Structure formats: C-alpha cells, structure tokens
Chain A
C-alpha cells in the first residue's frame, strides 16, 4: 500500500492504494465519486474520462498512484460554483444529448477537453474527437449538437416543429 495525495475537484484528498489500484477504483470506491463510470475493460468506451492536470484521461487506464500529486477533475466538479449546470452540461440537457446517462460523464469531460483546445470545432472535428467515447443510446446526433452549441455555434433548435 502506498499513500497518495491529490486534488480532486479542488479538494485535497489522500488515501492508501495498492500498486494496481486504478484511478477509477480510487475515485469510485475510496472517494465514492461514482459519477465516473466503467463501461469496458479495454480502454475503448470513454465512460471513465476525467481530467488529470487539465488533460482528458481514461481513468481506467491510469493507476491511482500515477495521479499522486495531480489535479484531478471529475464530472462531480463540472457544475458552476453556485451549483448550476456549466455551459457544456446545460447544452447536453438543452439538446437532449443524453438518455440513460451512463456515457454522459465521460462525454462531458471529453467535450470540455475538446473545447479547451479547440473552442470552435467543426462538426467533423467533434465527431472525430469522440472516437474514444461510445454512446449506445443517443446515436451521437444530439451529443454533437450539444457540443457545437456549447462552443457558441449555431445549431438548429431541438425538435423544431
């Protein structure tokens, strides 16, 4: 067991972990931050994406010990300080970018990382960036729309009647 200390969603936390404890397990089981999900065991689905030192990382592929000293952000840390939904989260709701919600934390974290580096992505860039995030429910259409809208680009309104 080794002791790890990291900042998670702005709070300093520490815990005892084994060498093979994954960051996902540390977040979910030790910190009980269960918003980060596990959808696969081959690093393919992206349900587990969090930010480590500002970069999107699949937390199922990183050991907790590797995050020692790091700044970690999970979906629980994405809302505005007053608890309201952030721009990206709000766009997911406005454009119906989620159904069962299981892929959603990873999608939100990936979207945030994309928009940080590329504030006005094209639709093709969004789709390309989401290569590592699988959603089985939405067919991606509304996720792409949500991300485009969150970037301030014009997206036809939902369910235009």
Chain B
C-alpha cells in the first residue's frame, strides 16, 4: 500500500493549483509602479572593434530616459567567474574581463553594446535604431582547433592566445601510458558533444528597483539562486553590501542550469534603477535568449579505452577541447574540469584514468552548465567508447560493462572522488528485466518486415550530485562554499514556515519539503509551508542546481527540525514535569515514555510564545531554528538505461520505440515528482541525441536563433507510454546525509544521449552498415543517411 503522506508518498503538488489557474507570479508578471523599460542593442557581428557609439540622435527620441554604453560601466566590476581552475603547469586560468556592456570590442553575436531606457519598450526599441555604431568587423574565430592554432585571431587582445587553461587530471602520464602499452586491445573514438541551448520556457527577466529613502536596491530576477546573485552582483560588480540589496526570484519558469549564472542584464537593471531613479524592467525575447543565455556542452573529444586480454578495462585516456565562448560565465570553468573529469571513471574499476582538457575562447556566446553539466559529456564519451569496444571485440555490451563494474564501496576513483555506495548490477538487472531483452529479436524482425532497422542501445552512468562539500571544492578552485541553509519557524499555534535556500522552479519543493518536516514532527503537511526565492526572507542559500536541493538544503532543513524537536521536548518536559530525555514525540504528541501523560504539539508551541508556564531559566522563549549543512561528500546517483530505435534506411529518420531507465537515487521522498524529473531529463537527452543543435557558421553568425531553427523535442518525439518505463526501485541510500537521498534532477539528461546513439549504431550494424562506428549528435536524418551512404 503506497503511503499517502510523509516521506515516500506521491503527494500531489500544492503549487499546481496556482499554475493551473493562471495565478502564478513569474518575474514578467511583476510591474513596479513607474517602471521604465530597457532594450539592449546587441552586436550582430561575432567580433569587432568599437570605434564609436553615437547616441546623440537617439537620446532626443520620444520617451527616452537615458542611454548607457560601456563607458557608463567603467567604474564598476565585470561579471565574475566563480571557479578558479589551475592548469597543468600550476598556472591560474586566463580570466579576461567580462564587462556589463561591451568595452572596446564586441566578441559574440548578442554581446550588448548599448542599453536604451525609455518609458515604453517600443520607444526604447525605436530609439535603439537611431544609435549610430562605428564598429570595425574583425575576423571571427569559431572553431576550437583553429582558435588554438598559432597566429589565430584572438578573442581577447590582452591574452597571449585563446587558451583559457590546459588542464590535466587523474592518473599520471607514466602510469597511464603503461596501461596502454600493456593493453591487449585499445578502442579509440573521436566525438563531439553538441552545443545546446537550455531553453527554459520562461525567458529571462529582470526588474531593478531602487529606494532613495533608505538606499536599498531590489532586483526581481529569473534565478535558480537569488543569494548567489546577491553575492556576485553586490560584492563583485556593483559594490552594494548585502543589507542594501534584496534579490527576489519568484515563480521561475524552468532553469536547467541557465538561470544559475549572474548575467549582465540583471546587473544593468539594478544599476540603471538607481542611475535613472526609476524601476527598470527587461524581458528577454526568445531570439535574445538564444544569443544571451549561456549555452551548454560543446566539447570535442578523443577518448581511448585500454583493455587487457580478458576484456578488463585497464586504462582510459581522454583529450577534450571545451568551448568557453567569448567570456567566462559564472561556473563555466568548472564544467569541463571538476564536473567532468571527476566522473571519467564511470561505474568501472579502471585503475588508470587520465583526463586532459583545453578550454578555449571563441567568438560565441559563453558556455556554462546545462542540466548535467560535464557529467553528460563524461558519460557520453565513456559509454560510447565502451560500446565501440564491445563491438570490436564481439562481446555483449551488457556483459562487458558488468565485468568491469565497481562492486565494493566506498570506492576511491583515480579521479579524486569516493563513491559512498551503489549497486550497479542491481540497476542493470532491473533495466534488463524491464527492457524484455529476450523479446528483442522478435521486435527487430517485425521492424525489418516493415523495411526498418531496429537497434538496442544500453548505457550506464554515475553522477556526482548534492553539490558540494565546500572543503573539497575549495581545494578544487571553487570561490564559494556550497552548503545550504534552512530556518524552521514554528508559529505560536503550531503552523510552520520553513525558509529554504534552495529555489524551486519546477522541482516541487513546496510539496516535498513539507512532507519531510511533517513526517519528522508527526503533524499534517498542510501545517507546513516553504518560503524560498527572496533574500530578505531567507537566512542564506546557494540555490538549486546539481541535483542538490534535497540532499543539501533538505539536510539543513532536517538538522533545523531536529533542533526544533530538541527544544520542543524541553518545553514539553517542563509542562509534563518530566525530564526531556524521557519525552517521546510521535504523531504530534509529546509523551512521557512509558506513561499516558502527554501534551500536544500545539500546546508546546503555544507555550513557547506565551511562556506563562515555561522553563525560562533554561531556555529562551520562541521556537525557531536555523541550520547550515555542508555535505561530507558528493552523492552518487547511478543507473542503467536502454532504448530501442527504428531507423528508416531510406530517409535516415530515427524514432525511439522503447525506453527504459533504472535509476538508483537512494531514498525517494515523492516518487511521482522523481519520475517527472526523470521524464524531463530523458526528453532533454533525446533532444540532444536526435534534434537539438546550436549551430554557428564560420563567421560566428548564430544559425539556430529561434524555434524555427533550433529543434526542441515535441510530444511526438517521445516514446508512447506503453513502451516507456522509468524505474527507481533500486535504492542504495546515500550514507552521509540524513535522508539518504542522492538527487534525481539530472540523471535523465545524463543517461539518455549515449543510450540513443548506441541504439542507432546497433540498428545500422544490423542492416549491414558495419562501416558506421559513430554519428555525432544530433543524429538527424541527414547525418544518418550520409553515414549509411558513406558520405
């Protein structure tokens, strides 16, 4: 019998009611009295030298409040990068300036040159057309290999070249080379992890407001982490102390990483609200989003896998070029390194793993974390090369993986992380069972009867979530701690507000977090509300990304609730004239152990606020506790995925006929929500594998700048319900956080792309197209057709 409340219950989401009735409060729904609107004039060139920006004609146009250019921002800081990577020679990464508005040069299509603030958006747009730009177009560098060639055009003139860092990690070169020398077989694969655009359906919005009365700034913004924005923008860009800066992220329409970062537009609106003494609002159009939201992925990789004569993995060596775009976005530098290199051991006990990454500046939009962030790139290359090895060796891809699985925990990988727990055979077993592998031959025969090729692809993955132990990431270059915080405020009559640092923008925290608190206290969920997304209401918080909300912020909430219970027991002990060590809390009643003497939750909370009969000499009145929680380790969700595709050999079109995921997320608080997270991740992974590509031409023009050109997955790209199962019944609880949870937000996006590509290659081989060893994503009809036809 499934539970209907508390931990483990598929409770329906309380936030749904407002979203379903149009009562949500997204940033663009906020209008501040007297607000002006800003339109950014953006570069249509990928690279150019700014000789002059003449705003004089535009300034006199109707409704114009003020026009800003890079000059207005000379006195303020640039947008900071939150992670300092040290290269293999011990040198810090190159960190070029990232001005709010372009200074001296434009470096990518979409780089903001000027900002027009006017009474209406239409007036701002019209005036922007009257700005006369004298920008001398320079050759653009888009391709990473070319950007690294000696004598290449430089994105940043003050740097020696376009190399941000050359990083090496894991097993030393001598040991790694020895593994490859001793190998009975080496499989090599070169591949591209395609550039993507996260595309939350809500475009970014910022509203800056300033109160002269008390010198206070308020920024309403579409953010996954309002405190991080307050810290970065306040301390590094505009020089506003935290107590004078409030950042509010109300309902946010999806993030997927792209709303983690601190962006120029939010700094601009905050700055301009004071400069103009008027609230200033910016709402991104979708076209603008394509050229100003940080992009994701964009790795070019060569990976080699060494196997001994018994097909044991003995070495992995990988060499990646990672595109940083024109500037370093907030967490960009950490993605190809610490979020990618640390996962290159995968689920396998390979003794030697060496990771090499060159991060490269190009004249493209900055690249940063997108759902999975580094871990999809690690999984894709590793699982693709394993699949290729299985094919070359003529062995079963499931068995090859199984024989190399890590089976004892904790396990120290050669790439700095220690997996606390897992059971990779269990998820593989589950996947095999759900996939009905014995039935595959018949399904393939059926497809072939219809002139189609059918293939099956499997994939295993591991991710490091619950980001992150501050001490470890500090050593790795993080410039911030990655703990989280929660305050549990119990009101006099027993209802509870929990202020959490995690932000919910689709994850359902408003439903899930109360399930935990209510279970701990034995009270009804309806008595507990979550408050999030406003720095003026919440003690602190690092926000939501890296599948961390429940594992890190949820743990803080558990700790704070434990403090509440301890204090409440003291009060109950006083009321019951018993020692607090004898008090038990169950179903919202405090009872003296072994007696029928008890007092209800509400009586204790009332006593805390109306302390007429109260142990004032021992404890303070009130019932409110805060906890900060810094995780001891990452969490390591893992899983086994499989899918079947049909390929039409005449057109190259791929359709997904069956998809199964078997995940181990540790304990699960709300299964319905967890499954929804996996569905969403898998759809994004299918999008990456088959449809999505952020494309530039060689001059740095963005070719995919709208939904006409950037193919988002639609409802009919996803397998039908009868042939689609997401399972999370394999559960090895995390050993180091109080709930035993691991995080589920990114798994689908990490696990699915190699699954799909492995299946496509399998299908092509079954049709005799054995020369096709790899097709880069997106595996579009034209690419498949070209591969089949040897083009």
Chain A residues within CB distance 8 Å of chain B: 28-29, 33-42, 44-45, 47, 74-76, 78-79, 85, 89, 92-94, 96, 98-105, 108, 123-124, 126-128, 130-131, 133-145, 155-156, 158-159, 161
Contact = CB atoms under 8 A, between A and B. Distances in A.
Interface stretch (B311-319, B359-367, B500-508, B586-594): B500-508
B439 interface: no
B724 A100 contact: no
Contact of A136 (B21, B25, B712): B712
Interface stretch (B12-20, B71-79, B489-497, B760-768): B12-20
A100 B200 contact: yes
B254 A34 contact: no
Interface stretch (B99-107, B179-187, B417-425, B670-678): B670-678
Given A34-B29, A139-B679, 6 more contacts: A35-B23, A40-B707, A79-B21, A85-B17, A98-B13, A144-B715
A136 B286 CA distance: 14
A136 B12 contact: no
Contacts of A126: 715
B676 A100 contact: no
Which secondary structure dominates where chain B touches chain A?
loop
14 contacts: A40-B286, A41-B285, A42-B286, A42-B707, A45-B286, A47-B201, A76-B22, A98-B19, A101-B24, A108-B20, A123-B720, A126-B715, A136-B199, A138-B680
B684 A136 contact: yes
Contact of B714 (A47, A102, A130): A130
A147 to B, nearest CB: 10
A141 B24 contact: no
Contacts of B682: 139
B287 interface: yes
B721 A139 contact: no
Interface residues of B, number: 60
A145 B714 contact: no
A98 B718 contact: no
B746 interface: no
A41 B24 CA distance: 21
B679 A75 contact: no
B415 to A, nearest CB: 31
A161 B2 contact: yes
A99 B716 contact: no
B202 A161 contact: no
A105 B26 CA distance: 13
Nearest to A40: B286
Nearest to B671: A159
Given A37-B253, A102-B26, A136-B200, A42 B671 contact: no
Contacts of B673: 96
A40 to B, nearest CB: 4
Shortest 3 CB-CB contacts between residues of A and residues of B: A35-B22, A101-B19, A102-B253
A127 to B, nearest CB: 4
B21 A44 contact: no
A92 B16 CA distance: 8
B307 interface: no
Of the listed residues A76, A94, A161, the one surrounded by the most CB atoms of chain B closer than 10 A to its CB is A161
B507 A99 contact: yes
Interface string B25-55: 1101101000000000000000000000000
Contacts of B253: 37, 100-102
B652 interface: no
A86 to B, nearest CB: 9
A11 B218 CA distance: 36
A79 B22 CA distance: 10
B16 A93 contact: yes
B16 A98 contact: yes
A159 B10 contact: yes
Interface in B697-718: 706-708, 712-716, 718
Contacts of B672: 96, 158-159
Contacts of B112: none
A45 B252 contact: no
Contacts of A161: 2, 10, 671
A65 to B, nearest CB: 16
B422 to A, nearest CB: 22
B683 interface: yes
Of the listed residues B22, B254, B256, B724, the one surrounded by the most CB atoms of chain A closer than 10 A to its CB is B22
B251 interface: yes
Contacts of A104: 19-20
B666 interface: no
Nearest to A135: B201
B778 interface: no
Contacts of B20: 75, 78, 85, 89, 92-93, 98, 101, 104, 108
Contact of B254 (A41, A42, A137): A137
Contact of A34 (B22, B201, B683, B716): B22
A41 B683 contact: no
B336 interface: no
B706 A39 contact: no
A75 B724 contact: no
A93 B199 CA distance: 24
Of the listed residues A37, A75, A126, the one surrounded by the most CB atoms of chain B closer than 10 A to its CB is A37
